[in-house]
Amino acid sequence: MPPQWSAFIQPEGKEYFYRDSGLPVVTEAHMYDPKTANKVCAWATEVERQAENQGLVLDRNMELFLEIDENNCSYYLVDRGAQTLFWLTEYTTTELGLQPAVSDSHLKLLLEAQYWSHVENFCMHFGGLPQKAIDDLILVFLHAHGDNLTSNLSTFPYTAAQCEKFLGLLNMSREYIRDGHVVAYVGRIWSIICYNRYETHYGQEQSRLSRDCAILLDDATEIQWTRPLLSLLSFRTSDRYLKTLDALFVDKFVYAHAWTTFMSKCLKTWRRDCCSSAMLLLLHVLCFFHPVSTILAYASSLLASASLLTGMFLIHRHEELEVAEAHEAQAYLSRVRSDYFKFQGVAAAYSLPRVLSLVGLITFFSQWFVLIWENNSQMYAISLIFLVLALFLSLQQTTSTSEATLLRTLNSQTAKLVSIFRDTSFYSLENKDSVV
């Protein structure tokens, strides 16, 4: 290697190279190759020359990263004091492959996340982090732990149980903050937290205080008239899927632990629906020993089979997504989300096993009404049908929130009428001469 260059290996095994002279330089280019080494040294000299021409003083607290192409070079400069990246020329975030920002402080959070990612990847050569870096991180996790314990919609990227584990790990690592192995994961955690703060608009005029709070404008307008129709056709089964999916993908940002919890519940529900459909198919054995309606038997068995097939397909399709990371869940939800119907189609698909199983179950047990109709008086069969419908409606009414909503509405309107009547009475008493 050229003079003043040294090789280091980060904890995960990647080798990188560092120049400890003039402006510090790091690169992943293979410096043992003379051609590559000459290119790196030439480009480092060129960056220093351009900085000097601009009157920019690059001190030892700064660092240059170089990535060598065949005939070109990519770079960025690191300022450890300001904990940010910078360049010698002005660029837009699009040109740099970064997301847009709404203010200078918002952009600073995004660049700070990139800075900590640099610290994670090049952690072995600069003597470690100051004690404040890990102490501040412990305070962040202490607050996040309390926030998760007192709120189900915390915007922190880790759960309360994970925060507790991180606190134990960080407290054990306080004495080793100068070691590159500790620096690597501290840098990674800070990078995740800074990026999460960027997404929640931390410190901005409009910040996200809960996961279900949207702060960005969505240009796409969702078609609404299909929502009640979908709810009716699915016996309101799709409602909970639709509500959860909308809450999971607020501003197109996904929390890994929230997605994992949702997908685990979905898979558990689909497996239970598959078991119910399989048991319903087994009950069709009774049709061989009793005179039944062939059409109803075919219909109920077809519905149970369809429920079993759709349930198994959904399980097969989503089993890998149960342990998906945040970016994988975000990519999946972006693909399945419609511009006009949002997650209505996905919610309908997720509810299919339950809906088909319920309709198949109702169709199967309607055989009893056919048997009673054929073997007893028609009036008796009609009375039984009305009794079952009455029981079903009573169950629906007692377990539905519609009644409570109606009562709240009536109470609100009653309170308004009482208020109007009271105001009118006072007006009449104060203006006796005007009352006829």
Residue spans per domain, the chain = 1-90, 105-215, 226-365
Q: What is the mean pLDDT of the chain?
A: 85
> In which residue are the tokens 């069709």 written?
284
Q: Evaluate if residue 65 carries a pLDDT over 50.
A: yes
The better pLDDT of the pair 414, 174 is held by 174
In angstroms, the CA 148 to CA 140 distance is: 12
Of the candidate ranges 194-203, 256-265, 413-422, the one whose mean pLDDT is the lowest: 413-422
The better pLDDT of the pair 405, 167 is held by 167
In the prediction, which pLDDT does 376 show?
63
What sign does the dihedral 147-152-154-156 (CA atoms) show? positive
| Structural tokens at position 421 | 């009547």
Q: Evaluate if residue 425 carries a pLDDT over 60.
A: no
Chain segment 292-317, per-residue pLDDT in tens: 777 888 888 899 999 999 999 999 99
CB 77 within 8 A of CB 44: no
In angstroms, the CA 344 to CA 258 distance is: 20
Sequence-separated (6 or more) residues with CB below 8 Å from residue 182: 128, 134, 173, 176
| Structural tokens at position 370 | 């056919």
In angstroms, the CA 268 to CA 262 distance is: 10
Q: How confident is the model at residue 424 (pLDDT cuts 50, 70, 90)?
A: very low
Q: What is the pTM of this model?
A: 0.78
Of the candidate ranges 53-57, 183-187, 365-369, the one whose mean pLDDT is the lowest: 365-369
| Structural tokens at position 201 | 């608009």
User: Three-state SS for 21?
Assistant: coil
Which of 28, 38, 36 has its CA nearest to residue 8? 28
The better pLDDT of the pair 14, 430 is held by 14
Quick one: average pLDDT of 269-278? Answer: 93
- What is the DSSP secondary-structure string of 360-429? HHHHHHTHHHHHHHHHS-HHHHHHHHHHHHHHHHHHHHHH-SHHHHHHHHHHHHHHHHHHHHHHHHHHHH
Quick one: average pLDDT of 153-172? Answer: 94
Gyration radius from the chain CA atoms = 33
